[in-house]
């Protein structure tokens, strides 16, 4: 009997850990009276996503024949040496019931090459994790691709990358931040559609690193409690 149950460590565990460590004014231990009431989602703030999308694609565009240009825009940055991108100002939610998370970032990347023939723009980058439902997640984005006939196809909120949270262990960053380093990512079918058939579904993408902080402020304004009968 070699099967061993392994509990995936997700953002949920890190948030719990952060709460236990007192990082932010988090209170996950709800009063017993609130047990039947769905817990309000917790806000995530100050998020960054360090993700190079696909290293081989960045290298391809850097080859002289491609005459490529990579522009980080809208607040995103690119590390020196044709490095990874950082998408910024991430805000989102952590569902204290399902332990699912969703964080949306600012910034995008514009890839251009071959005298305008290759033109791909990625923006509205979001990272979601499924929580207790499964040790999975995804990165979605708005992707605009120039087609062979010169027209542009816009795919909004496409599932671009499939994430595997199975082996991801939460770490701690500065100021109580939770860091999920090197989340394995692979290309989805819709993601592959942006690359003119050069990549296929399941191809490895760069691993993604998510950093978020639990917001100390309450997510919902205080309401008047219903009258007791
Ligand atoms: C004038 C048009 C184009 C030419 C001459 C061209 C040429 C090439 C060549 C020679 C390679 C192989 C590079 C290598 O192995 O190092 C390549 C790879 C590739 N091309 Fe293009 N290409 C063109 C347009 C496009 C367009 C329009 C797209 C996407 C919309 C695209 C996406 C790719 C991708 C994703 C790869 C694989 C890069 C990698 O990960 O190694 N190309 N292309």
Q: Which of 66, 121, 144, 205 to mutate to test the pocket of ligand 1 (most atoms within 8 A of CB)?
A: 66
Question: Does any domain span residue 59?
Answer: yes
Residues with CB under 6 A from ligand 1: 56-57, 60, 114, 117-118, 120, 145, 195-196, 198-199
| 123 within some domain | yes
Residue 180 lies in a domain: yes
Pocket test for ligand 1, best of 196, 197, 201 (most atoms within 8 A of CB): 196
**Which of residues 12 and 175 earns the better pLDDT score?**
175
Buried b (16+ CB within 10 A) or exposed e, 109-138: bbbbbeeeebbbbbbbbbbbbbbeeebbbb
What are the distances in angstroms from CA 205 to CA 43, 56, 208? 28, 9, 9
Please, which residues have CB within 8 angstroms of residue 35's CB and are 6 or more apart in sequence? none
Q: Which residues lie closer than 8 Å to 202 by C-beta, 6 or more apart?
A: 186, 187
Q: How many domains does the chain have?
A: 1
Query: pLDDT per residue over 121-142, tens digit each?
Result: 999 999 999 988 999 999 999 9
Per the domain annotation, does 143 fall within a domain?
yes
Read off the pTM: 0.83
Which tens digits make up the pLDDT trace of 19-44?
Answer: 433 333 333 333 344 455 677 889 99
pLDDT of residue 169: 79
In a domain, 224, yes or no: no
* Ligand 1 atom closest to residue 148's alpha carbon, by position in its atom list: 27
The answer to whether the CB of 54 falls within 8 A of the CB of 65 is no
Looking at the domain assignment, is residue 225 inside a domain? no
Tell which phi-psi region holds residue 202, choosing left (phi > 0), alpha (psi between -120 and 50) or beta: left
Q: Which domain holds residue 129?
A: 11-21+41-214
Please check whether residue 71 lies inside any domain of the structure.
Answer: yes
Q: Does any domain span residue 36?
A: no
Question: How many angstroms separate the alpha carbon of residue 198 from the centre of ligand 1?
Answer: 7
């Amino acid at each position: 009997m070699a099967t061993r149950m392994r509990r995936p460590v997700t953002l949920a565990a890190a948030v719990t850990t952060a709460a236990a460590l007192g990082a932010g004014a988090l209170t996950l231990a709800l009063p017993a009276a609130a047990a039947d009431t769905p817990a309000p989602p917790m806000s995530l703030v100050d998020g960054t996503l360090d993700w190079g999308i696909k290293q081989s694609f960045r290298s391809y565009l850097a080859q002289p024949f491609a005459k490529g240009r990579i522009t980080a825009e809208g607040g995103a940055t690119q590390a020196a040496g044709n490095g990874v991108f950082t998408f910024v100002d991430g805000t989102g939610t952590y569902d204290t019931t399902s332990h699912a998370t969703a964080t949306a970032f600012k910034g995008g990347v514009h890839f251009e090459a071959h005298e305008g023939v290759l033109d791909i723009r990625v923006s509205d980058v979001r990272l979601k994790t499924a929580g207790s439902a499964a040790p999975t997640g995804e990165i979605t984005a708005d992707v605009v691709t120039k087609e062979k006939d010169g027209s542009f196809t816009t795919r909004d909120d496409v599932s671009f990358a499939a994430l595997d949270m199975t082996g991801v262990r939460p770490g701690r960053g500065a100021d109580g931040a939770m860091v999920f380093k090197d989340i394995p990512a692979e290309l989805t079918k819709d993601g592959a559609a942006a690359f003119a058939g050069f990549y296929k579904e399941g191809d490895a993408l760069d691993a993604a690193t998510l950093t978020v902080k639990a917001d100390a402020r309450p997510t919902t304004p205080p309401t008047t409690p219903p009258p007791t009968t």
